[in-house]
Amino acid sequence: MEQPSPTATRAVKRGRSPWKAPWQAASIAGTVLAAVLAASSTLIPAVSGWLSHTLLVLAATLSITKDLLLVGGIAVLIASLLAPLEALGWWAGWYGEDLQTLEAPGILAEPLPEPSTITRYVVYLDGIAQGKYTYLPDVEEFLATLAADMPDDIVLIQGIMSYSVMNRSLTERRMLAFFWRIVDRLQMSPSSGIFGLLLSFLINIRNVLVVAVTADQRYGPIYGQGTAQVIFNSLTHYGYQPNSGVPVTLLGYSGGAQVALRAALTLKQLLKAPIDVISLAGVVSGNHNLLELEHLYHLVGDRDWVEKQGAVLFPQRWRLFPLSPWNRARQRRKITISSLGSMGHNGADGPYSVTERLPDGRTHLEATVRAVSDILQGKSALVSKTQVAKPSNYERYWQAEFNRPDYYPLDQTPDPDLYRAIPAGIAPRIAPWMGRLILPKPNERRQVRGVWFEVHHAPPEYAHLVGQVVVLRWQQTPGIQFFLQQTTRDVFFSEETEYSICQGLVHPLRIDRWQRVDPLESLAGSRPYDDVLVMLDEPQVKDVQIGGEGRSLLAITREPVQITGRYYALATVLEPVNAQGHPLPNSDASEPEFFRIQHFNRATRQFDGPTEIVRFPPVIPDANNLPPAGNRGLEKSPAGRDGWYLYGAKDAAGRFVVQAIAPRALLRLQPDQTIGDRREAWQFLRRGIWEDIATLKGNVRSTLLLNALNESMADSPNAPPDAPAPANAPPFAEGSRALVIHLYGGIGGAMAEPQAQGPLYFGHFAYGVATVVREPLADELIFDIHYHQVYTHNTDGVIAGTLSWQRFLGDRQFGWLGVRPVCDLVIQYDPFTRPFDFGGVKASALDGLVTQLEIMTARYRIGDGTGGTYVGPAHNCSQDSNQALYAAVKNLGDALNRMPELKDWLDEQPDQAARFDQLVQLGRFIKREMLPLGTARADWKTNDSTLGVSPESEILYNLTVGLISWRTLLPRLACETIARQFLNQGAQIWVLQTCQVGGDRPEIAPVAPTPLGW
């Protein structure tokens, strides 16, 4: 039997039929319908008339709307076609040759400070609502608040007409200026109504079309040049000096960001200065060469749907095209996209709103001002979160306390008869300043304008500064300003750099996201810790105020030289002992840590001075479990036949800890053999150096190559200090300098490095400078060698720059003396190495090379702003070192064209003219050999910022560019090519070789660089 529904059951229980309710509803509806029909008999005529009138009005309205839309569409189409005309007319000169874009140079947000104190200029470009030089009230409030928040040394310029290539307001000096004045008045009036709002929107439409012009690849560059000229005129009007290097930031809101990006590259060429752009809710096309900018900061609200259209409308920003300018810039971290929070694009919900608040309580205006101001002041919270997945060798080495500077107390006074401070002993030609670089904190940078320097050694008159932290800066000279312009960059790590860090390579993590990083900061910040020890070249000493506190200031003109240790001794190693000085048993197979040494006696010229127990701490193995140095059998090493230079410092217990070593037999000016014939000398350079390298293992060799023209120079120049120098002094006389070409080989054997396990090993190439100095402990001449290492970022923490011999090679933990075969060619060629005296101004080609190398190494430390450098066909140690040589030789060849007075001076100085002709001839031969295809690489000619690009990113480009200079592609070929040119011109070459020197190392074997190219 079928059961009733619950509804029906409830109705029955209440005493009603379940079918009664529907019939009642139908009855009521019928009654209402009948009443309506009855009433309609009297109302139909009136209603019918009203409906007819309404339909006629609607039809007319629709017709007018359609006509308005048609007219509006035609107007927009015509306006779109005419939009480029102003830019094209400016380019073609339609507006007259006397057009002055300086009539309205903008206004300053605050009074102009003293020009010498200005650190940055900021130019504001408004959004598409701009119709004249003044802004809407919310924009004015933003700029006033921003100016008040920034320090006085940042200049903010406003009032530039962003949407006119002639910097002309819509309301002035135009055919329709009267119309735009009406529109602008309606836009500014809060009571203009809906008609006024719609009419004022015409300014937005007009300016949107201008933005479209800037995005067009046909007309955009022209518009960008015009806008750049307007901004240039404004900057110079307010005291900006082109070529000064003062950075400029273009701050663009909405469409103003697109205008700023289009003008930025031309402006950079005009000013010869770094340019970055802050895009505030910007709608940008992304089809600009953003790699040429310092950086683009793209700040956008989470609810800004207008900005999001840019990523949709412009294909250059689509991820589908990874090689587009926008995506390439993102890959190299040239673009930082940051959220402003829950904001819209404009109005009460936009970034200038003073009524809407973020969840943290700040108004939109306060959050926007803070984000922009922090970027401009270099203290933005946009920090990198790079994670280190694999520890570097440097991190391994840092775990040992003897590798840390704080392990060695500063209050040391070793016996001066046995120990000398490194600067005063090895390099007496410079002021004896030595210390540790300390990177300033981000909030200290504006006042320090350099780095901190912990003084470890100073001249006697400044001995009170030892142990103090002083300021280290560059001197303000024209040459230094040029150097800083070439090397100072904003640093933002690229994707390749972040990946490299994860693979265990050391990059300058502490300066990531820093603006305007100069070479001192990149040197101090290259490693995770402040452990870079350096000596300084003749600094000026001044007193300055830092944070209201008096500080001493050291101002330098040359890059600091990286060193190891603070003092050095000349001694022979007698035997291994324990800490108490007792000899170790022969059965002890462990690595000895303590040795008994005997100091050199200057009076007897023998090693019969005092004996001492010193410590050789066993070094930490690298990631391949290979220690960089060994101690076992050190006392028997043939390389120590003439004694050792021992570098280091005393620990807290007063025991001398040896951090680096150097064989005296290698550095003293007494060759093991001399070759006088030029042909034999070339054969030795090409084959003799490396073909018997295995027999040299554990030893050193010094060979002097003389030309037949100057065999009289074969006598040793180790003359007494008071002997007068003859008129035809030998090339390696005291105080003379020589070019060094450095080449090292690989680590083979049972514990071979991975790079040397294949059939080819290319080695490493570098230039350097050797100065002949009189070493005071032995009172004899030695080579003081400084390398200018163009060195990519690596796992060992080796920093590109100027490194002393004992730092790069002799350091027991970080150097290569104990594991690699090394060859240094010390080349003395008078026209190249000895300065010319141009009327009291001394300069040499060697000095020019050093300057170019210092520029190159400073660029290498930060990868031209990407934070990393990589080995490839186009960029490597050999290619980029020789780019520096090319630049030095080219500058020399251009000297006569640049300075006509030089030719007159040479006519009056025949001896100097002969030397100069020899130098020009050498330069011509070197250029011919370096560039066998007859043309220079484009980046060599312009010194473009092309470092920091992974070889995998642009394989075809790297191969093509590398092949143009193929003779400098391979280190050994480059070394022999350059050395041969010097030899052919009559140069003298001293060949210094070492091969895995130190303790016994049976587990490794030397690998010579592969001889390719001849």
Give residue 950's pLDDT: 57
Q: E-strand spans in 134-274?
A: 154-158, 248-253
pLDDT in tens, 385-431: 455 567 899 999 999 999 999 999 998 888 999 999 986 545 444 55
pLDDT of 69 higher than 50: yes
d(CA 785, CA 765) in angstroms, rounded, equals 15
Average pLDDT (346-353) is 91
The pair phi, psi for residue 458, each rounded to 5°, is: -150, 160
Which band of pLDDT confidence, cut at 50, 70 and 90, is reported for residue 853?
Answer: very high
First to last CA, the chain: 109
Per-residue pLDDT band at 58 (split at 50, 70, 90): confident
Q: Could you read off the pLDDT of 631-667 as tens digits, one per residue?
A: 999 999 999 999 999 999 999 999 999 999 999 999 9
State the DSSP H helix or E strand holding residue 96, giving kind and residue range, or none if neither. Answer: none
pLDDT at 719 exceeding the cut of 60: no
Q: Which residues contact 386 (CB under 8 A, 6 or more apart)?
A: 493, 498, 501, 502, 509, 512
**Residues near 409 by beta carbon (within 8 Å), at least 6 away in sequence:** 650, 651, 652
Q: What is the pLDDT of residue 330?
A: 86
pLDDT band at 2 (very low <50, low <70, confident <90, very high): very low
pLDDT surpasses 80 at 222: yes
DSSP secondary structure code for residue 876 in this structure: S
The set of residues, in sequence order, having a beta carbon less than 8 Å from that of 955 and lying 6+ positions away, is none
Q: What does the pLDDT look like over 798-831, one tens digit per residue?
A: 999 999 999 999 999 999 999 999 999 999 999 9
Q: What's the pLDDT at 791?
A: 93
The predicted pLDDT at position 134 comes to 81
Of 44-58, 98-112, 490-504, 874-888, the one with minimum mean pLDDT is 44-58
Pairwise CA distance, residues 462 & 731, whole Å:
36
pLDDT value at residue 942 = 56
**Residue 784 pLDDT exceeds 70:** yes
- The position carrying tokens 């479209």 is 212
β-strand pairing of 549-556 with 764-775: unpaired
Identify the pLDDT of residue 1006. 96
Q: pLDDT tens for residues 570-624? A: 999 999 999 998 998 875 667 899 999 999 999 999 999 999 999 999 999 999 9
In angstroms, the CA 1008 to CA 970 distance is 13
894 falls in which pLDDT band (50, 70, 90)?
confident
656: nearest Cα among 394, 466, 420:
420
**Per-residue buried b or exposed e for 933-962, using 16+ beta carbons within 10 Å of the residue's own CB:** eeebbebbeeeebbbbbbbebbeeebeebb
pLDDT of residue 245: 80
Model confidence pLDDT, tens digit, residues 490-508: 898 887 888 889 889 999 9
Q: What does the pLDDT average to over 729-754?
A: 90
pLDDT at 889 over 80: no
Highest mean pLDDT among 167-171, 226-230, 1006-1010: 1006-1010
Position with higher pLDDT, 532 vs 865: 532
Residues forming beta bridges with residue 744, ordered by sequence position = 764, 822
- Rounded to an integer, what distance in angstroms lies between the CA atom of residue 983 and that of residue 825? 11
**Residue 808 · residue 767 · CB < 8 Å:** no
* Dist CA 377 CA 381 (whole Å): 11
Mean pLDDT of 853-862: 94
Which among 904, 1011, 363 is positioned nearest to 686, based on CA atoms? 1011
What's the mean pLDDT when you consider all of the chain? Answer: 83
**Banded model confidence at residue 723, pLDDT cuts 50, 70, 90:** very low
- Burial (CB < 10 A; 0-12, 13-18, 19+), residue 125, is buried
Residue 731: what pLDDT? 74
How would residue 165 be classed by pLDDT, with cut points 50, 70 and 90? Answer: confident
Higher-confidence position of 313 and 438: 438
Residue 989 pLDDT greater than 90, yes or no: yes
Nearest to 719 by CA among 694, 703, 736: 736
pLDDT tens, residue by residue, 422-465: 865 454 445 589 999 999 998 899 899 999 999 999 999 999 99
The predicted model gives 80-106 an average pLDDT of 58
- Residue 659 φ then ψ, to 5°: -100, -25
Q: Tokens for 333?
A: 């971290």
Percent of the chain residues topping a pLDDT of 70 = 79
CA distance 348 to 451: 45
pLDDT digits (tens, 9 = 90+) for 194-217: 555 566 677 777 778 888 888 878
Inform me whether the pLDDT recorded for 166 exceeds 80: no
Give every CB contact of residue 614 below 8 A, 6+ residues apart in sequence: 594, 595, 597, 646, 648, 655, 656, 657, 658
The more confidently predicted of residues 883 and 14 is: 883
User: Contact, 164 vs 149, CB < 8 A?
Assistant: no
